[in-house]
């Protein structure tokens, strides 16, 4: 990353909302001027009387380091000689109302570890990346036609030592090795931008450019990302451009006036979270946010973002009490400025990083979220399928004897499955705040809870869409996520939990090896119902197809009954081999198997051929047609 001097061209772009690498202009940059090493500080504070740099180098008294204002841009600048990397600093802002504010740098690259709040002079040019092969392969691939199975992680509670989360360097060894061994393709990290309160999990940010110091240094995090890439693991980062926290040292009332937030408090306030919305109508804020997205991809080689709470950005009245409802200039309730910002954000990201992942965490029914802006979309390339998630959890929490009355909950998603490029998420939000762990959502006795859990995850893995699961789900935790403790690794000492982890591992690797489960995720041609309407037995069957026409037949039984000699329609004659069964003994199941079965010329499910199967209880089974069967084993086929 190059440190550039401020120019009028840069400042013009900044005030037009088009400076997309603002982090090269603003913040604290180590430079040499007239042969002297020092630090150039640049900050946007348009409504201040004066701005000073204070720090440990001047006893936190700013009189001798008053910044110079470029009047028409509201930008202040100073070069202070002899400062070095590691020096602490803040901006002392004298407001028009004669307040004196001490603010952290919005563009700081590093910050003191909480509860301290000073910014730290930091160069990000030291690390030597070794992920060229990853970057080259990424440029060649079509992400929509590749497997994507994401392991969502909160770094502070994945594992702990001495009651502290592991460091970035420790995670580079232990977490990366674990993710590889479990067969995931990507890691998604809850936000790592600097935030004051641990239990916000990073979603209420003060330092958008400052990697949190909780787990180590920027170079150590770069090493973590590099290790992921060298081992074929993508890295997705949660990002929060919708709102920021109100802590005094942060962005709120930065120059004594609403600067980053909207001046109309009816638009600015997010009462549900106690935060403030960004004002997307200010070009300088747009430059700040779009530059921030590019910064993490440029400097830290992040592969993409899960953009948090998109619904709260595009709806002016999201989760607001009725007396706070407002309308836009057209008389409707969408946030017009936020919509324009989102489109510009995605257009710019894909201009600079065409192979980026931009995933919308969006609970609204806004259309074409993952369509390009030139086709009328918002420009993301993926959207979380919250509707599928909610329907599936509601269905699975229903006792199996009542599931026939809720059958549409497991089939409705296929009416819209190809309207967006979807990710199917079971995220951290579903296992906190009294919602219960995934295992404890499942009805039935001890055995049935595990069987139901294997069933919902195997259905997720075979349903069109990419996959995401939160850490700990692979252990079948009985308790909700406890963000102050590590996940329940001790459960692996118990047989059913150990077997369940083995199930998840083998399912993950099976998914990666079967193109029919991901090549045509976004196309109706990749899916065909065999039977969607058997609500009486709560059994569904369908085919997943890949580019080469090879297909996988999937059957899911959502009751605890075993069905013998059950007919399932198939579209081709031949022998079908069972290639995955969630009911195997090694996974903790009942061990009902099929092996190889021969299709009969007997119509079923509107198909000319059918196979006769044993359908295990609360299980998913999968079959693949075998082109030719050796004569010596023909007698073994049912």
Point out the residues that are catalytic: 308, 361
- Show Cβ contacts of residue 603 under 8 Å, excluding neighbours closer than 6 positions: 569, 609, 610
- Where are the alpha helices (H) located in 427-494, listed in sequence order? 438-441, 446-462
Q: What's phi and psi for 366, nearest 5 deg?
A: -60, 135
* CA atoms of 241 and 8, how far apart (whole Å): 27
* CA atoms of 128 and 226, how far apart (whole Å): 10
Scan for tokens 């910002």, then name that residue.
341
Backbone dihedral region of 252: left (phi > 0), alpha (psi from -120 to 50 degrees) or beta? Answer: beta
* CA atoms of 263 and 44, how far apart (whole Å): 17
> What DSSP state is assigned to residue 489?
G
User: How would you label 11-47 residue by residue, b for 16+ Cβ within 10 Å and e otherwise?
Assistant: bebbbebebbbbbbbbbbbbeeeeeeebbbbbbbbbe
Give the pair of three-digit tokens for residue 45.
């504070």
* CA atoms of 218 and 125, how far apart (whole Å): 10
- Show Cβ contacts of residue 558 under 8 Å, excluding neighbours closer than 6 positions: 395, 400, 403, 410, 455, 538, 539, 540, 618
* CA atoms of 59 and 79, how far apart (whole Å): 18
Among residues 300, 398, 310, which one has the least CA distance to residue 346? 310
* Strand positions, DSSP E, 111-242: 119-120, 149-153, 160-161, 164-165, 186-189, 193-194, 207-211, 234-239
């Amino acid at each position: 990353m190059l440190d550039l001097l401020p120019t009028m061209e840069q400042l013009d772009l900044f005030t037009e909302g088009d400076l997309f690498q603002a982090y090269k202009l603003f913040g604290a940059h180590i430079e040499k001027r007239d042969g002297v090493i020092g630090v150039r500080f640049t900050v946007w504070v348009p409504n201040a009387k004066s701005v000073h740099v204070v720090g440990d180098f001047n006893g936190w008294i700013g009189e001798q380091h008053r910044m110079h204002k470029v009047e028409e841009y509201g930008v202040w600048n100073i070069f202070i000689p002899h400062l070095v990397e590691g020096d602490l600093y803040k901006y002392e802002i004298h407001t028009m109302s004669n307040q004196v504010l001490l603010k952290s740098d919005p563009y700081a690259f590093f910050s003191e570890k909480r509860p301290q709040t000073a910014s730290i002079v930091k160069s990000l040019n030291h690390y030597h990346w070794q992920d060229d092969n990853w970057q080259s392969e990424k440029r060649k691939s079509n992400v929509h036609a590749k497997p994507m199975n994401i392991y969502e992680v909160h770094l502070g509670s994945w594992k702990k030592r001495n009651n502290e989360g592991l460091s970035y360097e420790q995670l580079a060894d232990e977490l990366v090795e674990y993710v590889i061994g479990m067969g995931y393709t990507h890691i998604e990290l809850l936000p790592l931008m600097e935030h004051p309160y641990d239990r916000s999990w990073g979603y209420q940010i003060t330092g958008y450019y400052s990697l949190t110091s909780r787990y180590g240094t920027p170079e150590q995090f770069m090493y973590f990302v590099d290790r992921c890439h060298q081992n074929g693991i993508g890295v997705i980062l949660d990002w929060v451009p919708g709102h920021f926290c109100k802590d005094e040292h942060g962005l709120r009332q930065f120059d004594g006036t609403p600067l980053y937030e909207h001046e109309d408090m009816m638009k600015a306030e997010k009462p549900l979270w106690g935060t403030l919305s960004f004002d997307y109508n200010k070009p300088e804020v747009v430059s700040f946010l779009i530059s921030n997205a590019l910064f993490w991809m440029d400097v830290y080689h992040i592969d993409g973002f899960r953009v948090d709470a998109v619904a709260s950005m595009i709806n002016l009245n999201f989760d607001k009490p009725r007396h706070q409802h407002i309308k836009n200039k057209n008389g409707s309730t969408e946030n017009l400025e936020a919509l324009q910002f989102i489109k510009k954000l995605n257009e710019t990201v894909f201009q600079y990083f065409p192979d980026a992942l931009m995933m919308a965490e969006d609970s609204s029914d806004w259309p074409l979220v993952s369509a390009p802006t030139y086709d009328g979309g918002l420009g993301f390339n993926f959207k979380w399928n919250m509707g599928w998630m909610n329907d599936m959890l509601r269905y699975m929490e229903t006792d199996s004897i009542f599931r026939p009355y809720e059958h549409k909950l497991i089939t409705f998603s296929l009416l819209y499955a190809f309207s967006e490029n979807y990710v199917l998420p079971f995220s951290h939000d579903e296992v906190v705040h009294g919602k219960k762990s995934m295992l404890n959502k499942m009805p039935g006795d001890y055995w049935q809870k595990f069987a139901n859990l294997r069933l919902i995850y195997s259905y997720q893995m075979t349903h069109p869409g990419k996959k995401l699961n939160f850490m700990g789900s692979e252990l079948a935790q009985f308790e909700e996520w406890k963000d102050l403790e590590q996940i329940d690794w001790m459960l692996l000492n118990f047989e059913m939990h150990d077997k369940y982890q083995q199930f998840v591992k083998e399912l993950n690797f099976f998914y990666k090896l079967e193109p029919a489960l991901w090549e045509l995720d976004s196309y109706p041609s990749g899916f065909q119902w065999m039977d969607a309407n058997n609500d009486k037995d709560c059994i569904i069957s369908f085919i997943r197809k890949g580019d080469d026409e090879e297909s996988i037949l999937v059957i899911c039984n959502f009751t605890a009954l075993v069905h013998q000699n059950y007919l399932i329609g198939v579209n081709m004659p031949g022998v079908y081999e069972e290639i995955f069964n969630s009911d195997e003994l090694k996974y903790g199941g009942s061990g009902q198997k099929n092996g190889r079965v021969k299709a009969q010329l007997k119509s079923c499910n509107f198909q000319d051929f059918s196979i006769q199967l044993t359908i295990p209880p609360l299980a998913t089974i999968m079959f693949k047609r075998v082109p030719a069967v050796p004569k010596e084993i023909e007698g073994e086929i049912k």
